[in-house]
Structure 1
Amino acid sequence: MENTRGTSLFENGLIWFGAGLSIAEILTGTAFAPLGFGKGILAVIIGHIIGCLMLFCAGVIGGKERKSAMDTVTMSFGTDGSKFFAFLNVLQLVGWTSIMIYDGALAANGIFNTGNWVWCLVIGALIILWIVIGITNLGKINTVAMAALFILTIIMCKVIFFSDASGAKVSGDSMSFGAAVELAVAMPLSWLPLISDYTKEAKEPIKATFVSTIVYGIVSCWMYIIGMGAAIFTGESDVAQIMVKAGLGIVGLLIVVFSTVTTTFLDAYSAGISSETIFSKSAGKNVDITGEVKNTAVFFTAKKSSVISIIVTVIGTVAAILFPMDDITDFMYLIGSVFAPMIAIQIADYFILKSDKSSKKADITNAVIWVIGFILYRYLMTVDIPVGNTLPDMAVTIVIAVVAGKIINGGHTAK
């Protein structure tokens, strides 16, 4: 199914290029340094393959059904069930908005020391500007910004990997290979409740999802490796200090600020879309990524969504000023424990059982299975598994969901 008025493959790829180009991903990558370059890269790649496969499945469901990410949850958990996950998604997006602004401000302040709070306000204001301007002209803005960021990031790679640094001893706590894989899975997994907000309006939803996933996966791996390489080859885990020592100055500042804006914009935008799932039956179905309103009757729904996105940005900015957010590992694992079993159940329902619970207020069976998957994920965090704990958790959850579905439907599938 195609949408001739929708976003192109290039536009979708550009959106997810911006999502992957993130200071948070570079900082997360520094944690892989104790594994060494070879094992670290392997962990990054394996983790991203697992996470991006889930991302692809989520994007396909939303793209084929022309539904926002949280609207697709209705098909497995019912209308009230989708509101529960939409609420959790809004919370995690507020959290990500805060973390991204905090990290961006910290790095920017390391280059030009004017105070973290000043940079929080600058970045927050730019995100709001991005939301307002992006409503009518996102594609053109993204094209210019992404081209500039691509060039700037190439410069940063040259500084890190071709500097005269002697490969200083890596400090910091070591982690197991399985824990590293899980940390790599966690980042694409955090985007899972967002991707359909963009693929649902693509001209070619399946191809757009594939392009989005591949572009994001490659760029995200690149960011992780930059962070890991910085820690291994320069002995620095502070991105700002690497840029300062290399004399990048204003170039480094531009990388920090605009990569933060282009990534955090997606969090804030999708928070607005997800909030509509909580308050409205027609959540996010009538506004595309360019902000085009398909029906004048839903103009105020579009406006409300953008206003909520701005409110989320303001909250995130204030939180970034007031609270320290240096260690986000537990936050990322919490996201995994919530959304990994959720998408596992959606995969089982949509691709295997061909069932749709949208007409229900809540599906108790799937709710119980999700709780089991959540508890299992938290337990598996205590076990060192080479492929991380997301993959086995999802495999078990899918099996339980399929068996339960077959039993309830008497061995038949229906949609």
Structure 2
Amino acid sequence: MTSINYMLLWFGAAVSIAEIITGGLFAPLGFAKGAAAIVLGHLVGTTILVLGGIIGSQTKLPAIVTTRISFGVYGSYLFAILNIMQLIGWTAVMIVAGGRSVNQITKMLWSFDHMTLWSLVIGALIFLWIAAGKDGLKKLNSAAVVLLFALTVILSGVVFTNSELFTKQPAGEMTFGGALELSVIMPLSWLPLIADYTRFSKTTSGGAWGSWIGYFAGSCWMYLIGLGAAIVTGDSDPAGMMLAANLGLAALGIVILSTVTTTFLDAYSAGVSCTNLVPKASERKMALAMTVVGTALAIVINIEQYESFLYAIGSVFAPLFAILLTDYFLLGRQQVDTGLLVNWGAVLVWIVGVVMYYQFVNLDLVVGATVPVMIITGAIYAVFARLMAGWRTIRAAKAAG
């Protein structure tokens, strides 16, 4: 895959209802402060995301398999299970968000109200998207991104031409540090899967820059649309915006398409993580199974817990990748040791990082929680790595003959 392929892939992933909804949470800050939190958070978060992608493009390994560099084979099993859980959760959340928006549109247009049916339709389309395979994916994604780019232009016109955008101050509570954290967490949520795709890059730089530009541009744009819509109308649901713009039937296709182009990445990478546990399994078949599970979960999930879900992802994967990035880029450990079963020192530092994350969230610092936690976790690991060198479980060597 080329840099253009990655730019289209990650732009399409970023154009999603979830990103618009998250941007809407920043409305109490007003547009200027909210926009500053969005851009600063994405500069940091997208850069961290792409560092994980560079590891994938250089090692040609899926994201969760690369954690064996720091944590060993059994350690990677733990993170595979956690990643499968969060990706199935993302699949369900995205299907619910898309289904609600589609249902809102069909209620307004035809008085048709059936949330469960729309969740099943979106799940079925994701299933077919994955079944198309990598070649089909590139063609489908390229066509979809063109249509989604038109969506961003239309929604931007609806939101940013309103005269109240820069003057109206909505009610509610949100600190700058909290907003910054939610801007960093969104790209961070893709860290456990970006290498699943950059491992196919023609060049490391092409995969890195294409991914960075595509995701940064798309995600910032979606956040800003959600922020503007929430300030002007008090509602960041894109369905309402598109109906206000008289898009009608086109709104239906736009919401479904944006949900599918984002969610298939979650479902597919859940399947890739499954193959870390069951190496002989087919990535595509496992991804299709994960789509079915995510769709079933979407029918019963409570999307109101969405913000807490984002924080949970940050708590697990911020310290995990702080350790992996420290090992790979600072300590020079860039190969998987097949004999390493568990690096208990790395696991201990990771646990410290998880606990520390929630402490920093409660402190509500202006710099958020992810950045200081990753820096401190990486520093602890770098300082004590040699002292903990013996805290490892190594596979017993087979006897000769």
- Fold agreement, TM-score > 0.5: yes
Find the partner of 1:45 among 39, 51, 62: 39
Structure 1 residues 2-401: aligned runs within 5 Å: 7-113=1-107, 114=112, 115-163=114-162, 171-280=170-279, 301=281, 304-355=282-333, 356=335, 358=337, 359-401=339-381
- Tell me how far apart the structure 2 counterparts of residues 171 and 184 of structure 1 sit (CA, whole Å): 20
- Tell me how far apart the structure 1 counterparts of residues 128 and 236 of structure 2 sit (CA, whole Å): 31
- Tell me how far apart the structure 1 counterparts of residues 336 and 142 of structure 2 sit (CA, whole Å): 39
Is residue 87–residue 267 contact of structure 2 (8 Å, CA) maintained in 1?
yes
Q: Show the counterpart of 2:383.
A: 403
- Tell me how far apart the structure 1 counterparts of residues 300 and 73 of structure 2 sit (CA, whole Å): 36
Which stretches of structure 1, 4 residues or more, deviate above 4 A after TM superposition?
163-172
SS of the residue aligned with 1:361? strand
Give the letter for the 1:403 counterpart.
V
SS of the residue aligned with 2:342? coil
Q: Show the counterpart of 1:287.
A: none
SS of the residue aligned with 1:194? helix
Is residue 37–residue 229 contact of structure 1 (8 Å, CA) maintained in 2?
yes
Write out per-residue CA displacement over residues 217-259 of structure 1, whole angstroms, 9 at most, x where no aligned residue: 1110100000001111233333222222221212222221100
Give the letter for the 1:105 counterpart.
G
Q: Percent identity?
A: 44
Give the letter for the 2:86 counterpart.
Q
In the superposition, relative to structure 1, how do residues 165 and 376 fare at CA in structure 2: closer, same or farther (>3 Å)?
closer
- Tell me how far apart the structure 2 counterparts of residues 395 and 24 of structure 1 sit (CA, whole Å): 28
Structure 1 portions without partners, runs of 5+:
1-6, 281-299, 411-415
In the superposition, relative to structure 1, how do residues 166 and 195 fare at CA in structure 2: closer, same or farther (>3 Å)?
closer
TM-score by length of 1: 0.88
In the superposition, relative to structure 1, how do residues 316 and 79 fare at CA in structure 2: closer, same or farther (>3 Å)?
same
Is residue 168–residue 232 contact of structure 1 (8 Å, CA) maintained in 2?
no
Give the letter for the 2:28 counterpart.
P
- Tell me how far apart the structure 2 counterparts of residues 219 and 210 of structure 1 sit (CA, whole Å): 14
TM-score by length of 2: 0.91
Q: What RMSD in Å do the two structures reach over aligned CA positions? A: 1.8
| Cα shift at 1:52 | 1.1
Structure 2 portions without partners, runs of 5+:
391-401
- Tell me how far apart the structure 1 counterparts of residues 34 and 166 of structure 2 sit (CA, whole Å): 15
Q: Show the counterpart of 1:3.
A: none
- Tell me how far apart the structure 1 counterparts of residues 248 and 289 of structure 2 sit (CA, whole Å): 32
| Cα shift at 1:342 | 0.5
Give the letter for the 2:366 counterpart.
P
| Number of equivalenced pairs | 383
Give the letter for the 1:98 counterpart.
A
Give the letter for the 2:371 counterpart.
L
| Cα shift at 1:170 | 5.4
| Cα shift at 1:36 | 0.5
SS of the residue aligned with 1:362? strand
- Tell me how far apart the structure 2 counterparts of residues 145 and 239 of structure 1 sit (CA, whole Å): 18
In the superposition, relative to structure 1, how do residues 366 and 333 fare at CA in structure 2: closer, same or farther (>3 Å)?
same
Higher alpha-carbon deviation: 249-258 or 195-204: 249-258
SS of the residue aligned with 2:364? coil
- Tell me how far apart the structure 1 counterparts of residues 230 and 105 of structure 2 sit (CA, whole Å): 18
Give the letter for the 1:381 counterpart.
V
Give the letter for the 2:59 counterpart.
E
In the superposition, relative to structure 1, how do residues 168 and 324 fare at CA in structure 2: closer, same or farther (>3 Å)?
farther
Give the letter for the 1:78 counterpart.
G
- Tell me how far apart the structure 2 counterparts of residues 19 and 85 of structure 1 sit (CA, whole Å): 23
